[in-house]
Amino acid sequence: MPNPVAAQGSVVQGTVAKGYEGVREAFEATFAEERAGHSAQLAAYVHGEQVVDLWGGPGMEGDSLTGVFSSTKGAAHLVVALLVQEGVLDLDREVRHYWPEFAAAGKEHVTLRDLLAHRAGVIGTDEGFTLEELADDRAVAAKLAGQRPFWRPGTAFGYHAYVIGALTGEVVRRATGRTMQELYEERVRAPYGLDFYMALPEEQEDRFLTTQPMDPTPAQTRALQENAPGRHSFFGVAFNLNHAVPTVLEELPNHRVIRAGGPASVGGTASARGLAGMYAAAISGLGDREALLTPATAAEFAQVHSEGRDLVIGAFGAFGLGFGNMAAEKFPFLGARAFGHGGAAGSQAFADPSTGLAFGYNRRRFAYREDNEVQLTRLIKATHEAATR
Amino acid sequence: MPNPVAAQGSVVQGTVAKGYEGVREAFEATFAEERAGHSAQLAAYVHGEQVVDLWGGPGMEGDSLTGVFSSTKGAAHLVVALLVQEGVLDLDREVRHYWPEFAAAGKEHVTLRDLLAHRAGVIGTDEGFTLEELADDRAVAAKLAGQRPFWRPGTAFGYHAYVIGALTGEVVRRATGRTMQELYEERVRAPYGLDFYMALPEEQEDRFLTTQPMDPTPAQTRALQENAPGRHSFFGVAFNLNHAVPTVLEELPNHRVIRAGGPASVGGTASARGLAGMYAAAISGLGDREALLTPATAAEFAQVHSEGRDLVIGAFGAFGLGFGNMAAEKFPFLGARAFGHGGAAGSQAFADPSTGLAFGYNRRRFAYREDNEVQLTRLIKATHEAATR
Amino acid sequence: MPNPVAAQGSVVQGTVAKGYEGVREAFEATFAEERAGHSAQLAAYVHGEQVVDLWGGPGMEGDSLTGVFSSTKGAAHLVVALLVQEGVLDLDREVRHYWPEFAAAGKEHVTLRDLLAHRAGVIGTDEGFTLEELADDRAVAAKLAGQRPFWRPGTAFGYHAYVIGALTGEVVRRATGRTMQELYEERVRAPYGLDFYMALPEEQEDRFLTTQPMDPTPAQTRALQENAPGRHSFFGVAFNLNHAVPTVLEELPNHRVIRAGGPASVGGTASARGLAGMYAAAISGLGDREALLTPATAAEFAQVHSEGRDLVIGAFGAFGLGFGNMAAEKFPFLGARAFGHGGAAGSQAFADPSTGLAFGYNRRRFAYREDNEVQLTRLIKATHEAATR
């Protein structure tokens, strides 16, 4: 990083490049808003050069790893993008071409593109999953193959929160004979030296910090209780509340079985450096390694395919292929082709090809959603402004 | 009903099963909110056993019948679901296959599925209907056959308030030689002994109570006037305000010609017992009679096909096939496959296969929409909670 | 105009027919709300007879011309409607049939209908346009031919603010050998004597008034700054903020090169008489000249094809073919087949076949959007009420 400016006399450690002082200030401001004990990391690259490398809070180091929940989906679909780029996968082929058992209960004509755009409607099963099943994409895929969709495929969309990586991963496995986890490790993580693991090896466990439970205010607690989702509702099915022994979202990465299996929808562990680094590798390359994606592939995966009211979340959403379209979804000041993904605890990562920016944020305490969105907007705005000045 | 608990010392009469006391309290609470003279009924079944049987208010008995307006559409599309289940109708066939005259003015490729999903765009005619025409589904269908749609079929959806039953009913009639009214009576109402009539026989008239006009507050009156729909607007066409002599929605069931004809969109009369009973018959069976629908048929008709901003209503809506998807539409705590329909005066009925719940609510005074939604949410939440405890 | 009632002792000049006094009052009220120096025009026809002819403010005459920005799109797509009516263009043909170079970068199957419904996703280019390019539809079309869409064509829609007229105009030019500007002049403007020019001839320049810059309140200035769009965002691409030298929207018609070229998306100049007169010519005819469109053609172009959240505007929108559907978009009291278009400075024009109304409003000072919508709603409501009494 050129011209590093160290933060001092602050809870925040690390450095920013000249011109990115506003990012450090915005990051520091989040600590003032949060209760004691908050810890987080922030990293950014521009055209493959790191410009932000910050962290702070008890026990948090620059290379600490935490569960990144659905930010994992970005790693998974970077693998899919590579395979599409190479002609191994065809977006407009019906899923059954790769995975014959999937052609059941009204899913016969669902394409890989539909899966990636969260349009297939197979957000879970009627009975839900055990924790062990959730740790194993093949087990999840096997149970989903015969499942009747929860909406008419193609007519609506909704967040396939716990299963999209198992669905697209099964297509990958049938087409290549390799799992998403293997391909990600070999083609993305290892060659670029990224601290962003889909399946976390035993020897990296000492850097892992558990996710801390949400610490809502009394008003937030009331709001959460009043809007508690039904077990068999769209949200309930998608977040596995309908199993006889419902799993607890905020505890997922705290189970070693999940971290070890690294399910492609929710099982990844990373630092902010790893999150931002992966998106830098995707669009810019890192060091002397070239970008993983051509501009055309990145543009195709960023293209909005589904937007409007998400049937699962019950609020506005906008997806490209496997990634969210960042500008359409939440951050309208970003480039129209910015693509990325966030995770339930509050992590967020993306690439914006219009400015060459790759961004990664990570936090340890499970966030209250609305608060997190306000903080992310400020952090991303500050980084975007510095990168375009 | 096992362990009935009678309500006493209250405007509310009837019984609830043990564990459903909260439902009675919620029902009683609605009387405290409404002005004097309010009357209503509430009934529920779980797995075919009645667990709630309540009513109250001047002149209202447990077996009183009132006009249920669009809750009638549930009866109509239960008939369609049966015929699809039996292979008599094919959802993906173009309507013209059954009804050649319909292939006009841009409707050539509209399928039965499109009709059921409120996507055809034939929400009325350019000239509107007389009251006598509205009472006769064949007359309505004849006038709609050549009509140009009010939006491009398939590109949007909007509530076909007064005509969906005439459109789907004409398909039924052409395919079977029988009317929707005849088939409903023979296959659904009579065998299950339901107090839910599509066409009300003369001999049942003594149980019928007219719908009372809305009694809005001054603020509500102002709001209604400020948002008064134009006669030729989407709402105006769909609710027959564009006829030279516009019909009055809240008076529809008070005309004997409507009750006798029983148009499948709006002409039904029922008690809450009948409303809930029909949905219990659909998914669970009643007494020693089996369920009318297989789980697969119920799931297909519940699947969301249209969701987003309803062009006619101008607000969010979510339809399956002929039924609303209850969880997507208004009650997100219900199961993702709950299906049903409500009516303009305030009635609401549905089945939730995830819990085996069948629910029916009915009221005599035409409701102010927003107030009614608040009350329904509380009544349904209380019933759902009791059923899942 | 029968029984003209002159306005006197007021900033407002001109006349209204008997029964339209409320329209004059509503128009006068807008001057009381605006700051000093405001000037505007209002005109309306019913069944081809002018019933409103009003104007007011410093320097404004009844025959003054101002830049009407996107109201120009109404003129452009009236030409397309004529060509579809005559069988020269086929809405469901792929654009490449007319314009082979367009079949690139994922746009192979885009139809003329998709273009007109703002679904193609080609809202601009990655590099933007110079002012001179924007003045020349052929130059814009040439740069768009190879462009990758900003969303998956057909899956979403967004306002093609600066380019829809170049896209549809290129189809027109390839099919007929004539430009949109030539055909509009020959078939629409000249024969009906309309003061609504797509390309403004030199000899009409003395009637032209420049658009004045917006004059926001401090609160409005803050709101505009807080929501400033990113240069490469959807909005930024669509409004040419991504060019190395971004053009300024509110200055566009003040450049003679724009007025002279008359780009079909934004380059027109008109009086309110011209705006309303064009829509009267479209549905009713003017003087002894017949209506340009048959009722069937008008109905087809008014049919909603795209509605929901507009990806570019980030708010609700509703388009027919090339025109907005006025009832679905903003004025729900109008007929379901009312079609028209507004422009950024605040102009608005439409036809409502259900009442025979043709409406035109024009103003010189660039409006603050929300204020303008409130004023337009009142002006249109007053005119609609007078026309339907």
pLDDT, tens digit, 9 for 90 and up, residues C182-231: 999 999 999 999 999 999 999 999 999 999 999 999 999 999 998 889 99
Compute how many other C-beta atoms are within 10 angstroms of the C-beta atom of residue B370: 9
pLDDT, tens digit, 9 for 90 and up, residues B45-92: 999 999 999 999 999 999 999 999 999 999 999 999 999 999 999 999
* Start-to-end CA span in chain C (Å): 17
Residue B289: pLDDT above 50? yes
Q: Name the residue of chain A whose CA is nearest to C227's CA.
A: A333
Residue B169: pLDDT above 70? yes
Triad A376, A379, A384: Cα angle to 5° = 115
C336 touches chain B (CB under 8 A): yes
Please give, rounded to a whole number of angstroms, the shortest distance from the CA of A247 to a CA of chain B: 18
Please give, rounded to a whole number of angstroms, the shortest distance from the CA of A230 to a CA of chain B: 4
Across the range B245-263, mean pLDDT stands at 97
ipTM surpasses 0.95? no
- pLDDT for the residue numbered C2: 47
- pLDDT for the residue numbered B2: 47
Instruction: Work out whether the CA dihedral C14, C19, C20, C22 comes out positive or negative.
Output: positive
C374 touches chain B (CB under 8 A): no
Q: Which of B368, B47, B68 shows the shortest CA–CA distance to B196?
A: B68
Give A306's strand partners: A319
CA distance C214 to A48: 41
Residue B6: pLDDT above 80? no
pLDDT, tens digit, 9 for 90 and up, residues A117-176: 999 999 999 999 999 999 999 999 999 999 999 999 988 999 999 999 999 999 999 999
Across the range C74-98, mean pLDDT stands at 98
Instruction: Work out whether the CA dihedral B127, B129, B133, B136 comes out positive or negative.
Output: positive
Instruction: Give contacts of C 96-115 with A, CB under 8 A.
Output: 105-106
Contact A232 B335 (CB under 8 A): yes
C146 touches chain A (CB under 8 A): no
Summary mean pLDDT of chain B:
95
Please give, rounded to a whole number of angstroms, the shortest distance from the CA of C310 to a CA of chain A: 10
Residues of A in contact with B354 (CB under 8 A): 231-232, 242
Residues of C in contact with B235 (CB under 8 A): 332
pLDDT, tens digit, 9 for 90 and up, residues A229-246: 999 999 999 999 999 999
Residue B7: pLDDT above 70? no
- Rg of chain B over Cα atoms, rounded to whole angstroms, equals 19
A227: confidence class by pLDDT, cuts 50, 70, 90? confident
Residues of B in contact with C352 (CB under 8 A): 232
- pLDDT for the residue numbered B303: 95
CA distance C309 to C151: 14
C5: confidence class by pLDDT, cuts 50, 70, 90? low
Q: Which of B215, B145, B217 shows the shortest CA–CA distance to B365?
A: B215
Q: Specify if A106 maps to a domain.
A: no
CA B254 to chain centre: 17
User: What are the DSSP calls for C99-149, one per residue?
Assistant: -GGG--TT-TT-BHHHHHTT-S---S-SS---HHHHT-HHHHHHHHTTPPP
Q: Specify if A129 maps to a domain.
A: no
Q: Specify if C126 maps to a domain.
A: no
Compute how many other C-beta atoms are within 10 angstroms of the C-beta atom of residue A331: 25
Q: Name the residue of chain B whose CA is nearest to C113's CA.
A: B152
Contact B311 C303 (CB under 8 A): no
Please give, rounded to a whole number of angstroms, the shortest distance from the CA of A171 to a CA of chain B: 25
CA distance A62 to B140: 71
In a mutational test of the B interface, the residue from C112, C116, C307 whose CB has the highest number of chain B CBs within 10 Å is C307
Residues of B in contact with C355 (CB under 8 A): 232
Please give, rounded to a whole number of angstroms, the shortest distance from the CA of A311 to a CA of chain B: 7
Q: Specify if A202 maps to a domain.
A: no
pTM (2 decimals)? 0.93
Q: Which of C177, C171, C2 shows the shortest CA–CA distance to C99?
A: C171
Q: Specify if A311 maps to a domain.
A: yes
In a mutational test of the B interface, the residue from C113, C119, C303 whose CB has the highest number of chain B CBs within 10 Å is C303
Contact B308 A311 (CB under 8 A): no
Q: Which CATH number do you get for residue C338?
A: 3.40.710.10
B172: confidence class by pLDDT, cuts 50, 70, 90? very high
Triad B178, B179, B185: Cα angle to 5° = 100
Please give, rounded to a whole number of angstroms, the shortest distance from the CA of B308 to a CA of chain A: 7
Summary mean pLDDT of chain C:
96
Summary mean pLDDT of chain A:
96
| φ, ψ for residue B195, nearest 5 deg | -85, 60
> By residue range, what is the domain housing residue B22?
1-9+16-389
- pLDDT for the residue numbered B135: 98
Contact A230 B384 (CB under 8 A): yes
Q: Please report where in the chains the tokens 């496959």 appear, as a residue.
A: B337
| φ, ψ for residue B147, nearest 5 deg | -70, 140
**Residues C191/A339, Cβ–Cβ less than 8 Å:** no
C300 touches chain B (CB under 8 A): yes
- pLDDT for the residue numbered A145: 98
**Residues B85/B113, Cβ–Cβ less than 8 Å:** no
Query: In which order are the strands placed within the sheet that holds B196-197?
Result: B196-197, B268-270, B65-69, B208-209
CA distance A155 to B7: 46
Residue A7: pLDDT above 70? no
Size of interface B-C (CB pairs under 8 A): 69
- Rg of chain A over Cα atoms, rounded to whole angstroms, equals 19
Residue C318: pLDDT above 70? yes
The DSSP code for A247 is: -
CA distance B356 to B335: 10
In this complex, which chains have at least 3 CB pairs below 8 Å with chain B? A, C
Q: Specify if A194 maps to a domain.
A: no
Q: Which of A5, A316, A258, A269 shows the shortest CA–CA distance to A132?
A: A258
| φ, ψ for residue B306, nearest 5 deg | -140, 130
- pLDDT for the residue numbered B226: 87
Instruction: Work out whether the CA dihedral A256, A261, A263, A268 comes out positive or negative.
Output: positive
Contact A334 C230 (CB under 8 A): yes
Residues of B in contact with C300 (CB under 8 A): 106, 148
Compute how many other C-beta atoms are within 10 angstroms of the C-beta atom of residue B22: 15
A5: confidence class by pLDDT, cuts 50, 70, 90? low
- pLDDT for the residue numbered A10: 78
The pLDDT > 70 percentage for chain A reads 98
Q: Specify if A31 maps to a domain.
A: yes
B148 touches chain C (CB under 8 A): yes
B333 touches chain A (CB under 8 A): yes
Across the range B210-224, mean pLDDT stands at 95
C159: confidence class by pLDDT, cuts 50, 70, 90? very high
Token pair, residue B29, equals 């609470």
pLDDT, tens digit, 9 for 90 and up, residues B225-241: 988 899 999 999 999 99
Q: Name the residue of chain A whose CA is nearest to B328's CA.
A: A311
Query: C237 Cβ partners below 8 Å, 6+ apart?
Result: A336, C123, C124, C125, C126, C128, C150
Query: C25 Cβ partners below 8 Å, 6+ apart?
Result: C382
CA B48 to chain centre: 20
Cα dist from C103 to A353, B13, C148, C156, whole Å:
24, 70, 10, 19
In a mutational test of the C interface, the residue from B109, B110, B155 whose CB has the highest number of chain C CBs within 10 Å is B155
Contact C384 B235 (CB under 8 A): no
Q: Specify if C168 maps to a domain.
A: no
In this complex, which chains have at least 3 CB pairs below 8 Å with chain A? B, C
B155: confidence class by pLDDT, cuts 50, 70, 90? confident
The tally of domains found in chain C comes to: 1
Residue A106: pLDDT above 60? yes
A9: confidence class by pLDDT, cuts 50, 70, 90? low
Across the range C232-240, mean pLDDT stands at 97
SS3 category, C34? coil
Across the range C265-280, mean pLDDT stands at 98
Query: In which order are the strands placed within the sheet that holds A348-352?
Result: A5-6, A12-16, A49-56, A40-46, A357-363, A348-352, A339-342, A324-325, A316-319, A306-309
